[in-house]
Chain A
Amino acid sequence: MTDQTVTIAEEDDSVPAGPGIEIKNLYKIFGPDPKRWIGEVKKGMSKEELNRKHGHVLGLTDISLSMPPGKITVIMGLSGSGKSTLIRHVNGLIAPTAGEIICDDADVCQMTEQELRHFRRARTAMVFQKFALLPHRTVLENTCYGLDIQGVPRAKSEPEARRWIDRVGLRGFEDNYPSQLSGGMQQRVGLARALTTDADILLMDEAFSALDPLIRLDMQAVLLELQEELQKTIVFITHDLDEALRLGDRIAILRDGRLEQVGTGQQIVQNPANDYVTAFVREVNRGRVLQAATVARPLPESNLPDMKLSGKLVLEEAARRMISAGASEALVVGARNNPRGVLNVSDVLAAMVQPTETTSSQPKGG
């Protein structure tokens, strides 16, 4: 069944101009003398051996990942997988042992301290898991923080800050201190602070992980809505696959410092690359993740069904509409209403309930 499906999820996505981030063969070893062991690690020394024999910890192994401009790239992994280490390489908070991070033809890893500071000020902004707001500054002052550092006078930075405080829904709280706000509101400040500098790269380190589930959904919606308009290059770290699927244009799954699979959410749910990914994907509510276009059959020669469905609809919604229309088949159309494939009720049902064939004998966990 899977080999018949057409994966067209990415097809109608236009690529906006702007910098992407290209990570090439990145290695990170923690310890007193990482350079000494990098050769051995490249030759294939295992993480365990490096730790046991030489007392160094292998953080990241041979990461190559391209993050397209204007898109949300989610890096997903459990704790200890190296995801926080990886995101800190992008703005040079951590220097790699080997490898390159290319952004706009410049290698972040080769930058001098001063170039790096300039790069951070002009190009990147970061949102943190525990908000990392300055407790002695009000919401407004916190939001101005990035511009303060750049030496922008308050007369200029304040209107900008107020605009973003408005956009994240905190109007009226400008003069409050962070300790007076709830977690969700504090992270809105964190988001406003990051957006105010107008950097085109937004790094979000488990930005919503510390929030209650409902507030997390809320914040995800806020982020998606903003991204619709801003089209920033976002790197989003999470340990939650549902969050990854909801936000990510591209998802990279990280385990023990290695990339297990990189692809769109549809690709990862439909074709998990290995047992580890499969174990994750099994918990996913497929009906709310898989899209009509993902499971549609190729267009037949003739006899196109009358009912039309957008390819972006999730299966649950597609099924609901087909049932209420009493249709057993529907035509899946793309963004400009051009036909893409045909979806029938049994395919929908199969995709929603049937785990992919490779999973059937695999034990859970990883």
Chain B
Amino acid sequence: MASGCWSLPDALCHFPSLESSTLRTMRKTVDGGFRDLVRTYSDWIDAATAPLQVALNTLEDAFTNTPWIVVLVVLLALVWGASRDWRIVVGTTLAMLMIGWMDLWDDTMVTLAMVSVCTAIAVVIGLPIGIIAARSDRMQKIVNPVLDVMQTLPSFVYLIPVVVIFGIGKVPGMIAVVIYAVPPMIRLTNLGIRMVDAEVLEAAEAFGSSAWQKLWNVQLPLALPALMTGVNQTIMMSLSMVVVASMVGVGGLGKNVLQAINNQFFTMGFLNGFALVAIAIVFDRASQAFGHRLQKHREVRHD
């Protein structure tokens, strides 16, 4: 032992960690306490998440039970409405038709339902937090480390308590996706508002704007490119997270990918993976084109 220790005392050579029995007791206590807590309040938790569960199920049913041609037409109309770009519409048509031919239509619909809900929730949560963080440096100092943790903590780790609390199903999956997808929305909202030209803001102040008027007339419109990037990133991260969420019972393309991993189904994995990529590209192009269209004042530059 001394030879591996460069003749150092034992305490400096092998880290003086806690006794393994102590650690075991600690783990048991925390886990047990947590589980008991959840059991005590399980009725309350179920009641609180029930509406969410119903909403998710309803939306999923709406996506899967509607005839595919109707869904496709609505989707294309949305894409056209957002982008006004026929190339994106044609691309979307091709992508969706390919997905249908490969018999992935229903799974794709489940995923789309999940992603739209998660994105909406992430934006609704992220935007106000980003605005608050932009308004106060102290708030930013609190929010930033939390976001760092949310983005670096492996998602499996926070899936454990989520599953303990909510069980297996769509709600825990949704929570996992939102936790993963909300940081870019908060960060980019914060950044976008902080980057707004100080002189324009001062002008708003000089004409007697209230805080709300400044936010609504100046900060949000001028931060729009950053906000749109935030929404775009949130969509992308939701899409990439649905595979992980399938581990806690979310269906759709993610579940197929998970099965393919477990059974080494090479083709099935790739087909489902590409279906995810295809809808990611559709969402990305459509949302970016929408962002550009909102900023038509930037198109023509004088000098």
Contact = CB atoms under 8 A, between A and B. Distances in A.
B302 A181 contact: yes
A330 interface: no
B302 A93 contact: no
Contact of A182 (B199, B210, B298, B302): B302
Contact of A135 (B205, B207, B210, B222): B222
B197 A125 contact: no
Interface string B197-218: 1011011111111100100011
A132 interface: yes
B295 A136 contact: yes
B221 to A, nearest CB: 5
Interface in A133-172: 133-138, 145-146, 148-150
A137 B205 CA distance: 17
A329 B218 CA distance: 62
A195 interface: no
Contact of B218 (A91, A130, A134): A134
Contact of A118 (B205, B208, B302): B208
Contact of A132 (B202, B221, B297): B202
A119 B205 CA distance: 12
Given A93-B205, A145-B207, A146-B207, A134 B298 contact: no
Interface in B212-244: 213, 217-218, 221-222, 224
A197 interface: yes
Interface residues of A, number: 34
A124 B206 contact: yes
B207 A197 contact: yes
A147 B203 CA distance: 13
Contacts of B213: 149
A236 to B, nearest CB: 15
B207 A149 contact: yes
A101 interface: no
B138 interface: no
B225 to A, nearest CB: 11
Given A133-B200, A135-B222, A177-B297, A126 B208 contact: no
Contacts of A203: 206
Nearest to B300: A180
Nearest to B301: A179
B217 to A, nearest CB: 7
Interface string B146-189: 00000000000000000000000000000000000000000000
A120 B208 contact: yes
B207 A179 contact: no
| Residue picked from A145, A178, A197, most chain B C-beta under 10 Å | A145
Given A93-B202, A128-B202, A150 B222 contact: no
B173 to A, nearest CB: 38
A184 B221 CA distance: 24
Contacts of B296: 177
Interface in B280-303: 295-298, 300-303
16 contacts: A91-B206, A120-B206, A124-B206, A126-B203, A128-B199, A130-B199, A132-B199, A132-B202, A134-B222, A137-B297, A145-B207, A146-B207, A149-B204, A149-B207, A177-B296, A178-B297
For the complex of A and B, 9 pairs with smallest distance between CB atoms = A121-B208, A120-B208, A132-B203, A177-B297, A126-B206, A132-B199, A146-B207, A136-B221, A117-B208
